[in-house]
Amino acid sequence: MTSVLAEPSPGLLRAAPIDFHRHTMGLDSLLRYLQLKVHHLAKEQDWDAIRVIGDYDRKAVVSRFEKTGKLFNIERPTATIRGRELIVRAFPGADYVQHYALIIATFLAMTGRPADIVTYQPPGQAECRAAFDALDLPLDGELVIVGWGLQHLAPKEGVWTRGPGYAWQRGELAGRRVVYLGFLHSIWGDVAGRVVTRLAELGAGDVVYVGKVGSLTPGIEPNTWLATGNTSLVRGSLVSWNDFFGDTAAAQGGVHSGLHVSSPSILLEGRDWLAQHSPSYTFVDPEIGPMGAAAGQAGIGFGYLHVISNNLAAHYPADLSNERHENVLRRRAVLIDRIRTIISLRLVGHPAHSLEEAR
C-alpha cells in the first residue's frame, strides 16, 4: 500500500528515497548499512509520518542499534513519539539531518514500505552554532587531534576528561603539546566544520582530523592505504587550506594524496555521482571540506590523514556494511600505528624521513 501525504509544512522537506539499484554500494551492502543505522522505532512500527529534526535529546528514546565497544561516535539520533508521528532527533547539522532522513526513506523503500512519509527540517545556523557552546576546554596553541581511533592514538596511561557529549586528554608528541578530542555523537558534514571553528575560538593552533574516506579510484583495496591532501570540492567550489602535514604525509609509502570531494550523504553517492567526479577526484567523505574551509577562515592549520575504508569504483569484500569484522579491525590497527608515526614525523620537522627511519 502506498501512503498519500500532503505537501510538507513550510520548513519541512521531503526525503525522497534514492535509486538504490544504482548506488555504488550494491543492493546487499547498502541494505546492511541501512539496517545498522535506522532507529529501531522506524524499523519496527508503521507510522503516518516520520520527521527528522536537528534537536539532539538523549532523554528521548535511544536506538537499540547504537554502537558499543568503543569510546567515541557511539550515539545515534534519538526519537520521540507523538501519536502516529515519529520525530527523530539528530545532532544539529544540515548535512546530518538530511543524511539521516535519506537513510530512513531509502530503508523503507528497500523493504517495501511507504517512504513518502519521511520529511526533514534543516536546522538554522543559530541552532547549529549553539550546539557547540558547551564545547569548552583550555587551549593555548596546541595541536588538536580529533576524529576516529583516538583511543589508540592517545597515551594509553592518559585520563579522559569528560564534557557534555565529548571527552579529551592532553599529552605531548615529539615535543609538541597535543590535545586528543573525541565526541560521543557523530560530527557529520557541516557539524565537523563547526568543531574546527569552535576549537579555533578556544585557542587551537592546528587541527588534525583522523577518519575514514572512500576511494574513487579502482585498484585501491580498502583498509590497506592512507589518504591525505589539501583541497576539497565543497558544494561545487574548490576549497584549499594551510596543510598541517605539508609534504610529510604524502612522502610516505602507503599514502595516497589527491583531490577530495565533500558529499553531504553516502546515500547520494550513486553511479551517476561517481561518473561525474571520477577520475578528477580521488577521495570522498562528508567532513574534510567543511573542516578545511573553517580552518582557513580561522587562520589555523588543518590536515587530514585517513584510512581508505571503502572503494566506490570497484567491488571489494570490505565496505561500510561490515566494518566490525575481525580482519578489517586488524588491518586498521596497523594503519592507526602508521598515522601516529606520520604525525610524529611532521612534528619533528623532517618530511623526507621515512616510516622505517622513524621506527
Give the span between the Cα atoms of 224 and 331, in whole angstroms: 7
Question: For residues 167 and 164, what is the distance between their CA atoms, to the nearest angstrom?
Answer: 8
Question: What was the pLDDT predicted at 247?
Answer: 93
Mind listing the pLDDT tens digit for each residue in 22-62? 999 999 999 999 999 999 999 999 999 999 999 999 999 99
User: What's the half-sphere exposure (Cβ side, CA atoms, 13 Å) at 272?
Assistant: 7
Residue 194: CB atoms within 10 Å:
23
Are 28 and 21 within 8 A, CB to CB? no
Split at pLDDT 50, 70, 90, the class of 10 is low
Which amino acid is present at 193? G
pLDDT at 77 over 80: yes
* For residue 323, pLDDT beyond 90: no
Residue 193 in grid coordinates:
566544520
